[in-house]
């Protein structure tokens, strides 16, 4: 049995530090996730994060469709959606993803580090 494929999808504005307004998730966090084998995806239409060197999957005006498109494209065993948009916790659930609000990103990252150290 191989390692799990996990995709972590991010909103931009209010979530990522390059967003407007800037969010809690830093570029270094994205690099760390990638270095640990996570697939990192931008699912935001915002131009503020379009320059990030990560895959971008969008569905204009429909975040649920963007999440589902990313799941179809990357076929993960599990997915996480990080966003500060009201109602996105429900969108994540509809897409079958774990939801993390960016305010809790550092705690979630800490939990990931703890789990990865056990592997």
d(CA 7, CA 61) in angstroms, rounded, equals 21
Tens of pLDDT, residues 8-33: 999 999 999 999 999 999 999 999 99
Residue numbers of the domain that contains 63: 6-118
Tens of pLDDT, residues 54-106: 999 999 999 999 999 999 999 999 999 999 999 999 999 999 999 999 999 99
Total-model pTM: 0.94
Does any domain span residue 94? yes
Q: Which 8-state DSSP code applies to residue 102?
A: G
CATH number where 13 lies: 3.40.50.1000
Does any domain span residue 74? yes
Provide DSSP, 3-72. Answer: PPPEEEEE--TTTBTTSSS--SB-HHHHHHHHHTT-EEEE----GGGTTSSS-B---TT-HHHHHHHHHH
- How many domains are contained in the chain? 1
Does any domain span residue 82? yes
| 96 sits in which H/E element | none
Does any domain span residue 1? no
């Amino acid at each position: 049995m191989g390692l799990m494929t996990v995709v972590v999808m991010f909103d931009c504005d209010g979530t990522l530090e390059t967003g407007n307004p800037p969010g809690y998730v830093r570029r270094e966090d994205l690099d760390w996730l990638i270095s640990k084998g996570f697939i990192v995806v931008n699912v935001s239409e915002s131009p503020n994060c379009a320059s990030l060197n990560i895959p971008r999957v969008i569905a204009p005006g429909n975040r649920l469709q963007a999440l589902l498109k990313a799941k179809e494209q990357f076929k993960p065993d599990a997915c996480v959606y990080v966003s500060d948009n009201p109602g996105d916790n429900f969108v994540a659930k509809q897409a079958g993803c774990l939801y993390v609000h960016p305010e809790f990103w550092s705690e979630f990252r800490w939990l990931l580090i703890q789990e990865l150290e056990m592997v």
